[in-house]
Structure 1
Amino acid sequence: MKDLVLVTGASTGIGYEMAKLLAAQKLDLVLVARSAQKLAELKKELENEHGVQVWVFDQDLSKEANSVLLYETVKAAGLQVTMLVNNAGMGVYGDFMETPLLEELQMINLNISALVILTKLFGNDMKENAYGRILNVASLLSFLPFPYYSVYSATKAFVLAFSETIAAELEDSGVVVNTLCPGPVDTPFTTREMLGTNAYKTNKPVSPMIVAKVGADLLLKGKGKKIVGFNNWFISNLPRVTPDFLMMKIKKKLASPVIKKMYN
């Protein structure tokens, strides 16, 4: 059986670069994002350059019903997904009492609900076949609850905890669940205001291709969680040696309360 990889958030950033890397390895793809035009362009590019088959579905996964609809549509098309990359995500940056509630609820739907739904539905198919791999994209902030990213960092902490526990439950089932934890990435997610903060001055965003290479390797043959880059690994371990009250003061100083919506 030839592998078929479904990638959400495939039109830009990490998902876009992962799609190109996986296609270069002759893997067929199911690509999902909100932009039908970008997906169509990417489909044409990958099929022409690598001779793979690419199916595209434009879905807004911040609407909970669309995740179930995506699964049903993929199944109706006769496609059997053997690998899943839950990459789609969004964030809201700013003082929690001032940020738009609707955007935060959409973020919870996309970062958590969509990921859980797709993991359960496609994961059950994989379990029945005793074969499959799932990569969930978390964040450096999974380890660091960060002021002004309050809901975002909480959703990514969920992704990490959920992924590690599901991985344990599926041990010896033939289904492997891994977690990718990047730090700042140079994508539309990162705004000019964020780049001006102390946090981004000391930990500069990296190319999405760097993260995608780590992610593709982890998806295809890795195990467990992977923090991208030594600097991010070091930062993720600071809470182990720094008192909570001091750590939160440091993080608050690093961040600035600028309200901004971002997507990855």
Structure 2
Amino acid sequence: MKNNQIILLTGASTGIGLEMAKQLAAQKFNLILVARSLDKLQALQQELITKEGIEVQIFAKDLSDKANAFSLYNEIKSQNIIVDMLVNNAGVGLYGEFIETTLESELDMIELNVSSLVALTKLFAQDMVARKSGKIMNVASLLAFLPFPYYSVYSATKAFVLAFSETIAAELEGTGVTITTLCPGPVDTPFNSDAMLKTNAYQSNKPMSADAVAKTGVELLLHGKGKKIVSFNNWFISNLPRFMPDSLMMKIKKGLASQIK
């Protein structure tokens, strides 16, 4: 049976977002898919319409410019589309020594991982609260709990996403709107650069499949509350700072984030 609810999903063309789109489509939710690549969105749109018989709308937007978050919202509103659920999945990472990585890349990362996420959350949450119904899931990371050297800005953006999501969730209690946070560890997606894959961390904590992480994300979005760290192993790792001195923990993290020798 077709589900009349509409879910807006950013970062939908690859990785976790792509797999979530397929799984939500299989449950007959109508979708609004957002990513930079128009070609990939068009191919996915056709696949999901043909296979699942749902309605799929696409918007090719580069959310590393927050102006595109506002234009996305305004275009959706102008079409009188009601978004029942929002998944802020779009994000990018960067690995390397802070003094050597490019400032432009890091500012774009902050714009995508933080500014556009905040804008979309606020704009759609306001509409949801007015209707007394809605769900928003923001995608953070294991590194929200464990800021790693060589991922300095990325770790900080994901720590922001987690703190932001938890506090907004508390503010919106009783409104009919829920805010959840998905916190995956390493995932087997194009997100990973060759340099990342050659670190000790990736060898000791093997990436999970995007399909498995998406399954956890779909469950959290539809039925969950609060935050969800994907897999027991990642949950255990996230709690290590509770039992170790900060100085020792940072040395361990630096070793894990370093290249295999």
Which of 78, 102, 105 pairs up with 1:103?
A: 105
Match among 78, 83, 99 for residue 76 of structure 1: 78
1:251 aligned onto 2:215: no
1:155 and 1:141 map into 2 onto residues whose CA distance is 9
Q: Could you tell me how far apart the structure 2 residues matched to 1:170 and 1:127 are?
A: 8
SS of alignment partner, residue 6 of structure 1: strand
Contact 2:180 2:224 (C-alpha < 8 Å) held by counterparts: yes
Equivalent residue, structure 1, for 2:60: 58
Structure-1 separation of matches of 2:197 and 2:32: 33
Report what 1:149 is aligned to: 151
Divergent runs of 4+, >2 A:
none
- Give me the whole-angstrom Cα distance separating, in 1, the residues matched to 2:106 and 2:196: 18
Measure how far apart 1:17 and its partner are. Answer: 0.3
**Cα offsets for 1:180-210 (capped at 9, x unmatched):** 0000000011122222211111100010000
Contact 2:199–2:259 (8 Å) recurs in 1: no
Deviations 1:124-145 (A, max 9, x none): 0000000000000000000001
Contact 1:94–1:257 (CA<8 Å) still a contact in 2? no
Residue aligning to 1:242: 244
Query: Which secondary structure does the structure 1 equivalent of 2:86 belong to?
Result: strand
For normalisation by structure 2, the TM-score amounts to: 0.97
Letter in 2 for 1:255: A
After TM superposition, the structure 1 = structure 2 runs for residues 140-179 of structure 1, keeping only pairs within 5 Å, are: 140-179=142-181
Q: 2:198–2:259: 8 Å Cα contact kept in structure 1?
A: no
Which amino acid letter does the alignment assign opposite residue 36 of structure 1? Answer: L
**How far, CA to CA, are the matches of 1:127 and 1:134 in structure 2?**
11
CA distance in 1, matches of 2:151, 2:259: 9
What is the Cα deviation at residue 3 of structure 1?
1.2
* Contact kept? 1:82, 1:132, Cα under 8 Å: yes
Q: Is residue 86 of structure 1 aligned with residue 65 of structure 2?
A: no
3-state SS, counterpart of residue 225 of structure 2: coil
Which residue of 2 is the match for residue 261 of structure 1?
none
Structure 1 position 31 matched with structure 2 position 36: no
Range with bigger deviation, 80-89 or 183-192: 183-192
Q: CA RMSD in A?
A: 1.1
Distance 2:243 2:205 in 1: 20
1:23-67 CA distances to partner (integer Å, 9 max, x unpaired)?
Answer: 000000000000001000101000111110000000000001110
Aligned residue for 1:262? Answer: none
Query: Any idea what SS the aligned residue of 2:165 has?
Result: helix
Higher relative contact order (CA 8 A, sep 6+): 1
Q: Distance in 2 between matches of 1:58 and 1:197?
A: 33
Instruction: State the secondary structure of the residue aligned to 1:91.
Output: coil
The separation in 2 between residues aligned to 1:192 and 1:62, in whole angstroms, is 22
Q: Which moved more, 1:184-193 or 1:50-59?
A: 184-193
- Which letter does structure 2 place at the counterpart of 1:195? L
Q: 8 Å contact 1:148–1:257 — kept in the other structure?
A: no
TM-score by length of 1: 0.96
Structure 2 distance, partners of 1:77, 1:184, is 38
The amino acid of 2:166's aligned partner reads E
Instruction: Give the CA deviation at 1:92.
Output: 1.1
Identify the residue that residue 9 of structure 1 maps to in structure 2.
11
For residues 115 and 122 of structure 1, the distance between their equivalents in structure 2, rounded to whole angstroms, comes to: 11
Percent identity of paired positions between Structure 1 and Structure 2: 65
- State the 1:257 CA deviation: 6.7
Q: Output aligned runs, 1:144-223, within 5 Å.
A: 144-223=146-225
**What do the CA deviations read for 1:108-156 (whole angstroms, capped 9, x no partner)?**
0000001000000011000000000000000000000110000000000
Describe the SS at the equivalent of 1:90. coil
